[in-house]
Chain A
Amino acid sequence: MTAEIRTSAEDVLAPKIRGQWRAILSRVVRTKRGATGLALTAVVVLVAIVGPFFSPYSPTALVALPFQRPSATYLLGTDALGRDVLSRVLSGGWLLLCMALAATILGVCIGAAAGISAAYIKGRADGLIMRSADVLLAFPQLVFALLLVSIAGPKLWLIVLAVALGHAPQVARVIRAAALDVSERPYVRAVEIQGVPRRKVMYSEILPNLVTPLMVEAGLRMTYSIVVMAGLAFLGFGQAPPDPNWGIMINENRVGLQSNPWAVVVPALLISLLTIGTNTFTDAVARVAIGVERQPVELTTVVAGGQE
């Protein structure tokens, strides 16, 4: 019995797991959807990062009358206060992107840690973790963020934390389901018998086998982070007013939709390209990792809230 377990453990442990995510990504990039998603995302990320260096005017300077149509001097016209739209577009993306990325990383880490712990430790810890997840899930994500913001004010770290805490329970559910299966495998039993501490089993035996669900989760959460962050900014809870932000721009310039629609259309287009890009890329990852035929069901259930 022991001998059997040991041989199977050696067999399974032998293949390299470390390069797994790289292997999946290189396959994803070669698919049509994967390449499209990556290209769309890359264009917007480039605009957001390089943009501030090419801004023709200061993004907060009042340069002309409000809602001027595009002209040679102001390529995208001016906004509600008479600031240059192009300059604000070029400078208004990077912080949104950084905050979305931070919230995604934080949310996926907390969720993965909670999900793996719940699945592996089981018993009371599992009950406690999943009950807390249920309570957090009862708050719509944007409403939860609004609740926190209403108390401590629209601080940027608080918004990141609020969005991350909104992601965590959903990630935890998906990862718990996947980890339950992994934790029953013979090679996990084998290292347990050898007396390896629990934390190490979770970190070096279970975690590496959750690469695929984690990649899909991270992609989905990134899309949602951008959606929720931009939505909060749109509602007026983000950077303080004079600073440019694509979400805020759409809100403050929509009264002038008929005079200068570009002040709304361009930031809306950039946000759309970005989220469509990350979503398309994630879809390609799911197709490669889970398989084309099963994909629609899997992705729908995963997207819609982590069913098992």
Chain B
Amino acid sequence: MEVLTSELAAGPEPSIEIRSRKHPVLALASRRVMQGLVTVFLVSVVVFLATEVLPGNAAYSILGHSATPESIHKLELQLHLDQGIVAQYWYWFSGILRGDLGTSMSNGQSVTALVSARFLNSAVLVLLAGFFGTLVGVLAGAIAALRRDRPFDHALSISSLALTALPEFVIAIGLVLLFATNVFHWLPAISLLPPGTTPLSRPHVLVLPVTTLVLVIFPYIARMMRAAMIEALESDYVEMARLQGISAKRILFFQALPNSIAPTIQVIGLNFLYLAGGIVVVEYIFDYPGIGQALVSAVNNRDIPVIQFIVVVLAAVYVVVNIVTDVVALIGSPRRRYAQ
């Protein structure tokens, strides 16, 4: 997906040069990293301008209607609002690069202290959901392809159509209703973590949030896997292997499966991208102390330094995952390395 845009931006000549000099994977990786850095920089500018330029002076919007001229002036100095916009931006952006993120406006805590533990909690949630979502998706897609047009295939097709349409919070509420409050009482409806504990030390609080996210992402992976697997099973090389008398199991695990995972990698990556935003609602529902929940409460309190930082971090994660996906997909499918 990136090939078209990047090639047009770079023009035809550099790609020829790259092809002759560097390893194609390395060339793509370095080009994408450069593009990624530019994107993150532009995102930070957009976030900064949005919080500065849109209606309402930041100081006023924080203090609300009770603001007095003195309190506004004091806050303006604190936010460096008295200086030019470029200077303000530079002060903020260089602060992020130094790890100094300013102080939260609602409680005066440093943003770094507020976010760092939550960041880890969110990472645990995303990685677990991504891992199990991929596992379930690949397995379900492969089985559906093997039992094409049989009941399992139809069931997967219908349920994935429904699951991809449902909002996360509806799936989450359904799970809470089923497993926490009304039908069974097996799991906690909220995933509180006492300060100082890590989610991995209390795995039961992770079950419902992770299950919600797995249900959201696995259908996309299963669909792609099914289509790729069907293509592989109908290919000439599988036919040839069959004619050579290689066992069906061997063909499945050594020929069809590896060849269908390669095209699925892009979709797996896209689902990790989704998770960067999907955690917001899920963390909020389960009261899970991650950065998504912090973002929602920061928006409620108009805590601008926290909002700015979390949004930039989420966008940066998005860009990094995008780059990793492209590179892994390229490594996974040798044909495409030279196709550009």
A interface, CB within 8 angstroms of B? 122, 126-127, 130-131, 134-135, 137-143, 146-152, 173, 177, 180, 223, 226-227, 230-231, 234-237, 247, 250-251, 254, 257-258, 261, 264-265, 268, 271-272, 275-276, 278-280, 283, 296-297, 299-301, 303-308
When chains A and B are docked, how far (Å) is the Cα of A284 from the Cα of B311? 36
When chains A and B are docked, how far (Å) is the Cα of A131 from the Cα of B9? 9
Chain B positions within 8 Å of A151 at CB level: 50-51, 54-56, 61
What is the minimal beta-carbon distance from B6 to any residue of chain A, in angstroms? 9
User: Which one of B70-78, B194-202, B218-226, B237-245 contacts A?
Assistant: B218-226
Q: Does B280 contact A (CB under 8 A)?
A: yes
Number of B interface residues at 8 Å Cβ cutoff, please give it: 66
Q: Does B96 contact A (CB under 8 A)?
A: no
Enumerate the 8 nearest inter-chain pairs by beta-carbon distance, A residue then B residue, closest first.
A140-B277, A279-B165, A304-B270, A275-B165, A307-B1, A150-B299, A138-B315, A296-B227
Most buried by B among A126, A265, A305: A305
B280 & A268 in contact (Cβ 8 Å cutoff): no
11 A-B pairs (CB sep. < 8 Å): A140-B277, A143-B314, A146-B311, A151-B50, A234-B167, A254-B176, A279-B162, A297-B224, A301-B267, A303-B220, A304-B267
When chains A and B are docked, how far (Å) is the Cα of A34 from the Cα of B46? 41
B182 & A138 in contact (Cβ 8 Å cutoff): no
When chains A and B are docked, how far (Å) is the Cα of A305 from the Cα of B217? 13
B267 & A275 in contact (Cβ 8 Å cutoff): no
When chains A and B are docked, how far (Å) is the Cα of A202 from the Cα of B318? 33
A150 & B55 in contact (Cβ 8 Å cutoff): no
Q: Does B169 contact A (CB under 8 A)?
A: yes
Residue from A135, A138, A146 in contact with B299 in the complex, judged by beta carbons closer than 8 Å: A146
A150 & B307 in contact (Cβ 8 Å cutoff): yes
A304 & B220 in contact (Cβ 8 Å cutoff): yes
B interface, CB within 8 angstroms of A? 1, 3-5, 8-9, 35, 39-40, 42-43, 46-47, 50-51, 54-56, 61, 161-162, 164-170, 173-174, 176-177, 181-182, 189, 220, 223-224, 226-228, 266-267, 270-271, 273-274, 276-278, 280-281, 284, 295-296, 298-300, 302, 304, 307, 311, 314-315, 318-319
Of chain B, the residue at the smallest CB distance from A269 is: B170
What is the minimal beta-carbon distance from B147 to any residue of chain A, in angstroms? 15
Chain B positions within 8 Å of A251 at CB level: 169
What is the minimal beta-carbon distance from A270 to any residue of chain B, in angstroms? 10
What is the minimal beta-carbon distance from B272 to any residue of chain A, in angstroms? 11
B298 & A150 in contact (Cβ 8 Å cutoff): yes
A231 & B168 in contact (Cβ 8 Å cutoff): yes
Chain B positions within 8 Å of A227 at CB level: 165-167
What is the minimal beta-carbon distance from B229 to any residue of chain A, in angstroms? 11
What is the minimal beta-carbon distance from A258 to any residue of chain B, in angstroms? 5
What is the minimal beta-carbon distance from B262 to any residue of chain A, in angstroms? 14
When chains A and B are docked, how far (Å) is the Cα of A75 from the Cα of B302? 39
When chains A and B are docked, how far (Å) is the Cα of A296 from the Cα of B230? 11
What is the minimal beta-carbon distance from A63 to any residue of chain B, in angstroms? 24
B277 & A268 in contact (Cβ 8 Å cutoff): no
Of chain B, the residue at the smallest CB distance from A122 is: B8
Of chain B, the residue at the smallest CB distance from A144 is: B311
Of chain A, the residue at the smallest CB distance from B169 is: A234
A279 & B161 in contact (Cβ 8 Å cutoff): yes
Of chain B, the residue at the smallest CB distance from A284 is: B161
What is the minimal beta-carbon distance from A87 to any residue of chain B, in angstroms? 21
What is the minimal beta-carbon distance from B237 to any residue of chain A, in angstroms? 19
What is the minimal beta-carbon distance from B295 to any residue of chain A, in angstroms? 6
A149 & B299 in contact (Cβ 8 Å cutoff): yes
When chains A and B are docked, how far (Å) is the Cα of A141 from the Cα of B101? 24
